[in-house]
């Protein structure tokens, strides 16, 4: 699963006090492999001709991150991370208790061994890419039939201690996003991460459909919380300074280090040399990472052009509006649960 993030939203509690209901923690983004057996229509990651990270380098990256930052979130991305199981396991086993580990997957390699291993590592949050009904899920994977095997595994996955489904919403599926969300709920999913397609063109009517779908999804959350159902939306707790990209300590599968994962994208691949800040033998200082991260927005605007940036900002604004609508209901249900 390719790596993605979201911009921030500021919330007000039900009692009216302003609260920054977000989390912007130190983050290690570990691209353990660029390879993937799927070809999702919305995926920008260059997948061919790249080395995999070695287990030793995955351990080195985790140790470096823990030494530098003392803790935070370590996110294992790809490509498809489960294509390099030894690298994933080495990285996770090297993570100290101060580091929260997130493992993203397209689900096609989740077998009995992996599920047993995840039960034995309950601190790991597994994030599964599942976009909704078969028509849209497999359609966005250009016909690759991953829906049936992933859904067949879902009952076991729902028993994992930390499990989140990422529902990606492409411009072409925005009109059915609420229906796909309801379908995932019917399958038993209770922990969601919503992800509109990013840095791609959205037509005006597709953005309207996205906003309408988010409004329906917001109503589903509000009704669930009002009824005491602890439905979870990760987007409420995630912040990134750059829409839909991850910033932090980014270690690519070739050992190079960046301030964000923009260089994974095929249309930005030629800029790798320019944006590399070092490698695992010669890592950058935290100050160099911070400076480079702050320059990424202007760079993206110059490189991708105004219309794609406007599309991305509009999709991100729709997601932020969804979060802002939900914060009061979220805090209200949290207070009810605390006093129950």
Near ligand SF4 by CB under 6 A: residue from 8, 9, 28, 38: 38
Assess 167 for contact with ligand SF4 (CB under 6 A). no
Near ligand SF4 by CB under 6 A: residue from 26, 45, 206, 247: 45
CA torsion sign for 154, 111, 35, 100 is positive
Tally of CA atoms within 13 A in the half-sphere of 296 that contains its CB: 25
Q: Quick one: 36 or 315, whose CB is closer to ligand SF4?
A: 36
Assess 246 for contact with ligand SF4 (CB under 6 A). no
CB of 181 vs ligand SF4, minimal distance in Å: 19
**Start-to-end CA span in the chain (Å):** 38
Assess 78 for contact with ligand SF4 (CB under 6 A). yes
Q: How far is residue 133's CA from residue 184's CA, in Å, rounded to a whole number?
A: 8
Q: Quick one: 45 or 246, whose CB is closer to ligand SF4?
A: 45
Residues 91-130: x where in contact with ligand SF4 by CB under 6 A, - otherwise, as a string: ---------------x----------------------x-
Q: At what angle do helices 306-339 and 204-226 cross, to 10 degrees?
A: 10
Near ligand SF4 by CB under 6 A: residue from 7, 8, 32, 40: 40
Assess 79 for contact with ligand SF4 (CB under 6 A). yes
Tell me which stretch binds ligand SF4 (CB under 6 A): 20-28, 50-58, 72-80, 281-289.
Answer: 72-80
CB of 131 vs ligand SF4, minimal distance in Å: 10
Near ligand SF4 by CB under 6 A: residue from 31, 43, 82, 103: 43
Query: Can you read off the two tokens belonging to residue 265?
Result: 């994208």
Q: Quick one: 43 or 233, whose CB is closer to ligand SF4?
A: 43
CB of 247 vs ligand SF4, minimal distance in Å: 19
Q: Which residues pair with 232 in a beta bridge?
A: 191
Assess 222 for contact with ligand SF4 (CB under 6 A). no
CB of 262 vs ligand SF4, minimal distance in Å: 15
CB 260 within 8 A of CB 5: no
Which residue, among 85, 88, 43, has the nearest Cα to 62 in the 3D structure? 88
Tell me which stretch binds ligand SF4 (CB under 6 A): 39-47, 149-157, 299-307, 325-333.
Answer: 39-47
CB of 336 vs ligand SF4, minimal distance in Å: 37
CB of 19 vs ligand SF4, minimal distance in Å: 33
Assess 36 for contact with ligand SF4 (CB under 6 A). yes
CB of 68 vs ligand SF4, minimal distance in Å: 27
CB of 80 vs ligand SF4, minimal distance in Å: 5
The residue ranges that bind ligand SF4 (CB under 6 A) are: 1-2, 36, 38-40, 43, 45, 78-80, 106, 129
């Amino acid at each position: 699963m390719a790596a993605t993030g979201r911009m921030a939203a500021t919330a007000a509690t039900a009692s009216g006090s302003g609260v920054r209901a977000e989390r912007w923690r130190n983050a290690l983004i570990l691209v353990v492999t660029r390879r993937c057996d799927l070809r999702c229509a919305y995926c920008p990651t260059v997948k061919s001709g790249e080395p995999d990270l070695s287990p030793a380098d995955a351990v080195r990256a985790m140790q470096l991150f823990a030494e530098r930052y003392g803790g935070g979130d370590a996110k294992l991305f790809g490509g498809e991370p489960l294509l390099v199981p030894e690298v994933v396991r080495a990285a996770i086993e090297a993570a100290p208790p101060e580091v929260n580990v997130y493992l993203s997957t397209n689900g096609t390699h989740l077998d009995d061994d992996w599920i047993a291993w995840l039960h034995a590592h309950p601190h790991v949050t597994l994030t599964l890419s599942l976009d909704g009904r078969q028509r849209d899920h497999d359609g966005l994977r250009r016909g690759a039939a991953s829906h049936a095997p992933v859904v067949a595994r879902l009952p076991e996955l729902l028993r994992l201690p930390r499990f989140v489904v990422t529902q990606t919403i492409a411009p072409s599926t925005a009109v059915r996003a609420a229906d796909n969300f309801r379908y995932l709920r019917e399958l038993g999913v209770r922990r969601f991460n919503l992800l509109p397609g990013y840095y791609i063109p959205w037509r005006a009517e597709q953005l309207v459909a996205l906003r309408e779908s988010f409004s329906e999804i917001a109503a589903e959350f509000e009704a669930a919380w009002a009824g005491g159902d602890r439905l979870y939306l990760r987007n409420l707790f995630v912040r990134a300074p750059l829409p839909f990209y991850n910033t932090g300590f980014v270690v690519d599968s070739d050992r190079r280090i960046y301030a964000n994962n923009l260089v994974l994208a095929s249309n930005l691949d030629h800029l790798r040399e320019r944006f590399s800040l070092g490698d695992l033998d010669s890592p950058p200082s935290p100050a160099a990472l911070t400076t480079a991260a702050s320059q990424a927005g202007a760079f993206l605007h110059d490189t991708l052009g105004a219309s794609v940036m406007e599309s991305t900002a509009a999709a991100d604004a729709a997601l932020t509006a969804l979060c802002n609508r939900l914060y009061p209901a979220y805090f209200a249900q949290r207070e009810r649960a605390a006093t129950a």
